[in-house]
Amino acid sequence: MTLEELVNNTNISFFFKEFTYSSNKFSNYNKEELELADYLILVKNQLLIFQVKERNEEEKTVDDSIWLRNIVNKKAKKQIKDTILYLDNYTPIEIENNHKHTMKFNKSNEYKIQKIICFKCESIEKYKKFSLTQDVGVIHYFSFEDYQNIIKSLSTFAEIWEYIEFKEKLFRKYGTEIEDLSESVFIGHYVSNELYAKPHIRYEYYYDKLLKSVDNYDIRHILSIMGDRLEDTRETTSVDYYPILEEFSLLPRSYLRHIKKLFYFIFDAARDSIYRSPKRLLIKQNNCGFVFYSLPKDVATERKKILNNVTMQAKYSLKSTVQIGVSIVYEGEDFLIDWAYINEEHKFNEELEKILKESNIFDDLKFKKFPRYLL
């Protein structure tokens, strides 16, 4: 399997197909075929640009240092710069994601961008981890083995993005002083509570603890069925569920861990036909609210109408801008999962005020701080 296939399979395994792009050719205004970087991952306004390099048969006789300089450094770096140049000169660029939906890319200044060069060469044990350029800023270098370790140990898009930002801050502060440290040191440093300290080999201790820890936060198997289950009061298209996936993707495991508990709480209630009051959660930094609840099967035909009403009430009670609603009905041997999404500024609503005052279905909210990692 080639490195391009390995990276593509890795990205699809850990990120939703809706946000990953691996067929990135397009035509410019003159009908010339151009190509963006090998891989793109776009979640909301956060864009990861990947260029991958692996020795082909002709290059295997070339000295390691020459191959690294000409292919990994010069050529890959130019391809990343060209990608940003294309975004600025030819937008909107339409390309198909790995879920077979055609999406538009806008100018680079509309995104936060992280640039990554991923390479594979078995004879090379170490290579630089950063490059500071005048035109596109910091570019990160990862061997494929290091990239796999990052993905497996951090797993969520939110944490991987934050980790790359964390490494960039360290590089800008300490420069080449930290080039020789292993990736496991940086990962361990990131998951520790000592983010402002100077990187040191002792942080491998936290990396080892992270790998041994048991942390049940993965809900991708639940979210993967979302495409056909979005309920909205407006006319929908095939990609209208993307904003829900984006909100979940931007959550660190500390919140996903709690959300997974809420999912299984309402799964159990639906299966056992037990009434539980809807459970709300407000993520203050994102101003995004969630509400989870189960319904008895005798109202299954009305579940989408009920879902919309409960989601609107939850949004109003939380004063959130974004609100996601999830309802579950157990029917026969299957769970019916429906999703609702609302994105609009909070404003006074006399009818909702009256409903919440006279027949509030929600429990009182409690402030709770969730630990980042269970080490």
Q: Is 31 helix (H, G, I), strand (E, B) or coil?
A: coil
What pLDDT is attached to residue 334?
82
Mean pLDDT of 202-228: 83
Q: How far is CA 108 from CA 58, 103, 245, in A?
A: 35, 15, 22
For the chain, list the domains and their CATH numbers: 3-154 (3.40.91), 220-358 (no CATH)
User: Vertex 46, ends 290 and 340: CA angle to 5°?
Assistant: 25
DSSP 152-184: HHH-SHHHHHHHHHHHHHHHHHHGGGGTTS-HH
Torsion-angle region of residue 155: left (phi > 0), alpha (psi -120 to 50) or beta? Answer: left
**Could you give the C-alpha distances from 79 to 83, 139, 360, in angstroms and in order?**
6, 12, 56
pLDDT in tens, 193-205: 898 999 999 999 9
Looking at residue 125, its pLDDT comes to 66
Coil/strand/helix, residue 363: coil
Pick from 94-98, 132-136, 151-155, 218-222: least confident: 218-222
The pTM of this model reads: 0.90
- How far is the C-alpha of 119 from the C-alpha of 127, rounded, in Å? 10
The answer on pLDDT for 234 being more than 60 is no
Q: What is the pLDDT of residues 5-19, one digit of tens each?
A: 888 888 888 888 899
- Overall average pLDDT of the 76-101 stretch: 94
Contacts of residues 222-230 at CB distance under 8 Å and 24 or more positions apart, as own/partner, are 222/263, 222/337, 223/16, 223/248, 224/16, 225/337, 226/339, 227/99, 229/337, 229/338, 229/339, 230/339, 230/340, 230/341
Residue 142 has pLDDT above 70, yes or no: yes
Please state which of the ranges 104-118, 121-135, 171-185 shows the lowest mean pLDDT.
Answer: 121-135
Confidence grade of residue 35 (pLDDT, cut at 50, 70, 90): very high
Q: What is the pLDDT of residues 245-267, one digit of tens each?
A: 999 999 989 899 999 999 999 99
| Summary mean pLDDT of the chain | 89
Query: If you average pLDDT over residues 287-296, what whole number do you get?
Result: 94
Model confidence over 341-355: pLDDT tens digits? Answer: 999 999 999 999 999
pLDDT score, position 226: 62
Stretch among 92-106, 220-234, 294-308 having the lowest mean pLDDT: 220-234
Least confident stretch, 99-108, 117-126, 183-192: 117-126
Residue range 93-105: mean pLDDT, rounded: 93
State what percent of residues in the chain have pLDDT above 90: 65
With a cut of 80, say whether residue 227 has pLDDT above it.
Answer: no
Please compute the mean of the pLDDT values over residues 97-102 and round it to a whole number: 92
The answer to whether residue 44 scores a pLDDT higher than 50 is yes
| pLDDT score at 232 | 44
